[in-house]
Amino acid sequence: MTDIVITGIGATTPLGGDAPSTWAGLLAGQSGVSRITEEWAEELPVKIAAYVKVDPSEVIDRVRARRLDRSTQLALIAAQEAWQDAGLTWDKENEVDPYRLIVSLASGIGGLHSLLNNWDAHRDKGYRRVSPFTIPMLMANAPAANVGMAISAKAGVHTPVSACASSNEAIALALDQLRLGRADIALVGGTEATIHPLPIAAFGQMQALSRRNDDPQGASRPWDRGRDGFVMGEGSAVLVIETLEHAKARGVTTIYGTLAGAGITADSHDIVQPDPTGAGQYGAMNKALVDAGLAASDIRHVNAHGTSTPQGDLTEAGSIRHGLGEAVDGCVVTSTKSMTGHLLGGAGALETLATVLALRDRRVPPTINLEDPEPDLGIDIAANVARDLPEGDLAAINNSFGFGGANVAVAVTNANVTG
């Protein structure tokens, strides 16, 4: 089977406006969480979130931004960086064959700000104040479609939606498309921008969000006994993947790693709670291993879903133990959500990106705020400081799980594909 390699990366996140600054922040154990300064938070029990460090208004011009939901703006910024990082030119047609180029870029929730701001306008001032751009701004495939137009992708523009597993599913979908020979190159990733009173209130009503309002940077604390929910983050991460043949043919010099496989399962258990047996979660990990042709003992690192919820973290620790068996002892686990918060539909892509860079640099970013770990987790967590990985061939898994019972594990290996 043809190798699918990663040749470009881009991101705009709570830790930085691009992939290098995000990665530096992750390795340094920085938190991107802060108090919500907008007035609406005063009435809510949750007053913290992880905003992007560089607001998109600093990057995208005002007139253009008026027609794009914040989630699409973030996706365009990350996509442009990834595309250029892969040695390609943004807004230029036919640099690669457009009929062999796909976009698979997800959002878990879609253009939420556009939907709700226009509803506010409609309710308060009448239908004439509803923007004619509302629908193309709020639709879930708007980020993928706008990115696809920028790079002239004509072999398909996809937006799989599976809540917080969405962007890992987008990566898995594109991997299959390339393996099936339906395209040579793909721009994959995810985006989310949902720091708005409605989702903060709604997730808050579910008791899913941390209320550690007086200690924002300590609020996301996966596997710590003091954890009390996730912190909502926003941002986007994008990768360029292509067949090794295509990369070689166009003279690519930087290969970050290989997208080795993916595994998808569905819990079919509960609309929000994970199956407590973890069967769907470790099932996805096992399928990713089989798909990648890897053994559990090859996996030296897992970037966990690790959202910092009381039950979710425990279930996943069990799933990782079960999925890797005895090999769990040689595997360094982390949750970068301890620093970025939870990017929902953008999480899988950001964490796959972090996993790829961890293998490249042989260094796993820490899980910060892990001061009082749950006992008997049975997984080796990179607690509070970054950890080194050994020399030689490395493989890793990134887990993403979503409401609705979606589980998607993505397997990557470091770049020993020069032949």
Q: In whole angstroms, give the CA distance from residue 143 to residue 346.
A: 12
Catalytic residue among 113, 246, 322, 342: 342
Q: Which span sits near other proteins by CB under 8 A: 125-133, 196-204, 296-304, 362-370?
A: 125-133
Which class for 154: exposed (0-12), middle (13-18), buried (19 or more C-beta within 10 A)? middle
Say if CB 233 and CB 49 are below 8 A apart.
yes
Reduced to 3 states (helix: H, G, I; strand: E, B; else coil), residue 217 is: helix
271 is a site residue for other proteins (CB under 8 A): no
Q: In whole angstroms, give the CA distance from residue 6 to residue 86.
A: 9
322 is catalytic: no
Angle at 102 between CA 98 and CA 104, to 5 degrees: 155
The least distance separating other proteins from the CB of residue 148, rounded to whole angstroms, comes to 19
Give the residue from 192, 168, 154, 198 showing the smallest Cα distance to 52. 192
Give the residue from 156, 186, 165 showing the smallest Cα distance to 5. 186
164 is catalytic: yes
Give the residue from 57, 81, 12, 105 showing the smallest Cα distance to 340. 12
331 is catalytic: no
Give the residue from 354, 366, 357 showing the smallest Cα distance to 399. 354
Q: Which span sits near other proteins by CB under 8 A: 82-90, 128-136, 369-377, 400-408?
A: 128-136
Q: In whole angstroms, give the CA distance from residue 201 to residue 85.
A: 38
Nearer CB in complex with other proteins: 64/225: 64
Answer for which of 132, 251, 375, 392 binds other proteins (CB under 8 A) is 132
The least distance separating other proteins from the CB of residue 66, rounded to whole angstroms, comes to 7
251 is a site residue for other proteins (CB under 8 A): no
Strands 157-158 and 101-107: parallel
Nearer CB in complex with other proteins: 92/125: 125
Beta strand ranges found along 200-331 (DSSP E):
235-243, 257-266, 299-303
Say if CB 276 and CB 211 are below 8 A apart.
no
The least distance separating other proteins from the CB of residue 122, rounded to whole angstroms, comes to 12
129 is a site residue for other proteins (CB under 8 A): yes
Catalytic residue among 196, 301, 305, 322: 305
Encoded tokens for 218:
């300590």
Nearer CB in complex with other proteins: 35/64: 64
Nearer CB in complex with other proteins: 132/392: 132
The least distance separating other proteins from the CB of residue 131, rounded to whole angstroms, comes to 7
Answer for which of 42, 94, 128, 253 binds other proteins (CB under 8 A) is 128
- Applying CB under 8 A, the site for other proteins has a residue count of 10
Catalytic residue among 113, 158, 164, 301: 164
Nearer CB in complex with other proteins: 61/391: 61
Nearer CB in complex with other proteins: 131/213: 131
Site for other proteins in 42-71 (CB under 8 A): 61-64, 66
Say if CB 330 and CB 297 are below 8 A apart.
yes
131 is a site residue for other proteins (CB under 8 A): yes
Q: Does the CA dihedral 204-211-281-243 come out positive or negative?
A: positive
124 is a site residue for other proteins (CB under 8 A): no
Give the residue from 247, 323, 336, 324 showing the smallest Cα distance to 282. 323
Active site residues: 164, 305, 342
Give residues in contact with other proteins (CB under 8 A). Answer: 61-64, 66, 128-129, 131-133
